[in-house]
Structure 1
Amino acid sequence: MGTEELKLRVRSKIYVYTIIIGLAISGLTAFPLETEMSYLVKYGTILPSSLQIWIGAIYQALKITNLHYPFLSYGTDWLAFAHIMLAVLFIGPLKDPVKNKWVIEFGIICCISIIPLALIAGNIRHIPVFWQMIDCSFGIIGIIPLILCRINIKKIEILEEHYGLCR
């Protein structure tokens, strides 16, 4: 393996670790939603008033729902689990990015799919537009390291192909 290929592999790992960490954090923060919202209500006074009102409404809804219907939070537990399992999925490209490039492509498809989901479901569920844009930003931000990783994988494939022909 040449130095150029090694550099590409290291950069690809950094991009993949970014995705893994983001997914894991997203998953882990989906478990304690009521506690997180309580914290934001208490300490989020520096936020714009419209956001404070929205966070307050979310907190009240979670608090009342968890008091009377705690089983509904089981849905967000599964959401958290899915994020963590998706993070595990990206271990494959860490080990062999070329062999597991399909995982990177899957991630790109997921990032693109966030936008219509957030806009359609957000509208149906009466989610404020500014919050829908925040949700869309996860796809827009997430796709950047994935595309950069995919570009590196293509370059690694070319180097491996060239190296194989030179033997």
Structure 2
Amino acid sequence: MNTEEQKLRLHVNIYICTIIVGLAISGLTAFPLETEMAYLVKRSETYPISLKTWLRTVYQAIKTTNLRYPFLSYGTDWLAFAHLMLAVLFIGPLKDPVKNKWVIDFGMICCVAIIPLALIAGNIRQIPIFWQMIDCSFGILGIIPLILCRINIKKIEILEEDYGLCR
């Protein structure tokens, strides 16, 4: 493996680790929603009134639901679990990016699919547009390291092909 390929693989690993960490944080923070919302509401005095009102509404809904119907939070537990399992999925391209480039493609598809889901389901569920935009931003920000990763994987493939021809 030459220096150029080593540099490309390092960049690929950095991009993939960024995605893994992002997915893991997203997953882990989906478990304690009531606690997190209570924290945000307590510190919302400097927030714009629309955001403060939305956070209070969400907190009250989660608190009331957890008191009366705690089993409904099991759905967000599964959401958290899915994020953690998706993070594990990216270990494959971390080990062998060329062989597992399909995971990167899958991740890019997921990032693009976030946008219509957030806009359609957000509208149906009466989620404020500013919150829908926050949700869309996960897809927009997430696709950046994946695109950079995919570009570098393509360069690694070319280097490997060139190396194979030189043998």
What is the CA–CA distance in structure 2 between the aligned matches of 1:70 and 1:45, rounded to whole Å?
A: 29
Partner of 1:42: 42
Seq. identity, %: 80
- The one-letter code matched in structure 2 to 1:89 is L
Gaps of 5+ in 1: none
What is the CA–CA distance in structure 2 between the aligned matches of 1:39 and 1:3, rounded to whole Å?
A: 48
What is the CA–CA distance in structure 1 between the aligned matches of 2:104 and 2:134, rounded to whole Å?
A: 23
- The one-letter code matched in structure 2 to 1:135 is D
> Once the two structures are superposed, what CA deviation does each residue of 1:85-137 show, in whole Å capped at 9, x if it has no partner?
00000000110000000000000000000000000000000000000000000
What is the CA–CA distance in structure 1 between the aligned matches of 2:56 and 2:82, rounded to whole Å?
A: 27
CA shift, 1:46, in A, is 1.9
Aligned length: 167
CA shift, 1:44, in A, is 2.2
State TM-score, norm by structure 1. Answer: 0.99
CA shift, 1:49, in A, is 1.3
What is the CA–CA distance in structure 1 between the aligned matches of 2:45 and 2:80, rounded to whole Å?
A: 27
Partner of 2:96: 96
- The one-letter code matched in structure 2 to 1:55 is L
CA shift, 1:47, in A, is 1.6
CA shift, 1:28, in A, is 0.2
- The one-letter code matched in structure 2 to 1:150 is R
Gaps of 5+ in 2: none
Partner of 1:4: 4
What is the CA–CA distance in structure 2 between the aligned matches of 1:10 and 1:46, rounded to whole Å?
A: 41
State TM-score, norm by structure 2. Answer: 0.99
Partner of 1:135: 135
- In the TM superposition, structure 1's runs of 4+ consecutive aligned residues that sit over 2 Å from their partners are none
For the pair 1:74 / 2:74, whether they are aligned, the reply is yes
> In structure 2, the residue corresponding to 1:148 is in which secondary structure?
helix
Partner of 2:161: 161
Partner of 2:112: 112
Partner of 1:16: 16
- RMSD of Structure 2 on Structure 1 (CA): 0.4
CA shift, 1:37, in A, is 0.2
CA shift, 1:52, in A, is 0.7
Partner of 2:51: 51
> Once the two structures are superposed, what CA deviation does each residue of 1:47-93 show, in whole Å capped at 9, x if it has no partner?
21110100000000000000000000000000000000000000001
- The one-letter code matched in structure 1 to 2:134 is I
Partner of 1:124: 124
